[in-house]
Chains A and B, each alone.
Chain A
Amino acid sequence: MAGKSQLELLVQYQDLVLMLQELRDEAVRGIGFQVENLSRLEEAIQELERALHPRYLRTFQRIAARQHRPIAPVSRDVCLGCFARQPTSYKARAWDDSELITCEQCGRILYWID
């Protein structure tokens, strides 16, 4: 976890939660890859929950209650969750670990990928 921002930890958290959901899905399992011990993945998710600031985790879970994927990537200042354009000033603020930037239109946490 060392060296990662809270936003990066949240991104990894969402990636792993989604991985767990997909690996439990029969359609995905049907492709034929071996999956031995999902409890390892559950442990990794729990470890991230412990590393996250409770306030950020609560925000993630609150958004997760209404959005299947609470974090949306942003490319060229466009939220790829709802395609709303974001103010240019948001990008600089996003790397300040003291706040999470959310999309004013869809409410997802924003993560700049470019």
Chain B
Amino acid sequence: MQNQLLLGYFREHLFVADIDADTTAGVLGQLVEPLLKNSLIKNKTIILETLQKREALGSTSIGRNIAVPHCRTLAVSEVIIVVGISPGGVDFNAPDGEPVNLFFLIVAPPQDTHNHYLPILGKIVEIVRNDDIRASLLQCGTYGEFIETLEEGLR
């Protein structure tokens, strides 16, 4: 997956700077909220239940304060990424036991004609495993800072 292609998936209206939930279900609810608000889904129930089923199989946190909740669902018509920041951190059952501060929610339709879902998932995991980029991303508080940091990190 090319960096420029990935960057095209991030949107300011799909950025949540103030996640304050303190449970996995609460965080997922706040991450899904912009999809409803921007009419990208019709209702939250199906997508939330699918995401929660996925978390029940093992946390999608990859440790080091990052989580990448993800699923395919018929509830969406295109691959969508929502970025969420929890300034205080949330217990997300991370493998290292650390709280999660940065979330990348990735949802995709089953048909995903361009087949971008898995490459996006893999690319984001690769990016946040880079210590420098991850440390910078974890300092961001606004969408502007986030996208600028990401662009810089991917250069």
- Using a CB–CB cutoff of 8 Å, the interface residues on chain A facing chain B are 4, 8, 11-12, 14-16, 18-19, 22-23, 27-28, 31-38, 40-41, 44, 69, 71-73, 75, 80-81, 111-114
Contact = CB atoms under 8 A, between A and B. Distances in A.
B122 A41 contact: no
A15 B46 contact: yes
A100 to B, nearest CB: 14
A15 B76 contact: no
- Which of A44, A75, A113, A114 is most buried by chain B, counting CB atoms within 10 A of its CB? A113
A68 B60 CA distance: 26
Interface string B94-124: 0100000000000001110000001001100
Nearest to A68: B110
B125 A31 contact: yes
Interface stretch (B24-32, B51-59, B82-90): B51-59
Contacts of A114: 39, 42, 77
Interface of B: 39, 41-42, 45-46, 49-50, 53-54, 56-60, 62, 68, 71-77, 95, 109-111, 118, 121-122, 125
The 7 closest A-B pairs by CB, nearest first: A34-B58, A36-B58, A35-B58, A15-B50, A11-B74, A69-B110, A75-B77
A8 B125 contact: no
Contact of B58 (A33, A72, A81): A33
A48 to B, nearest CB: 10
Contacts of B45: 4, 8
B140 to A, nearest CB: 23
A113 B74 contact: yes
Nearest to A36: B58
Contact of B49 (A12, A14, A75): A12
21 contacts: A8-B45, A11-B46, A11-B74, A11-B75, A12-B46, A12-B50, A15-B72, A15-B73, A15-B110, A19-B71, A19-B72, A31-B118, A32-B62, A34-B59, A34-B95, A37-B58, A80-B77, A80-B111, A111-B74, A112-B42, A114-B42
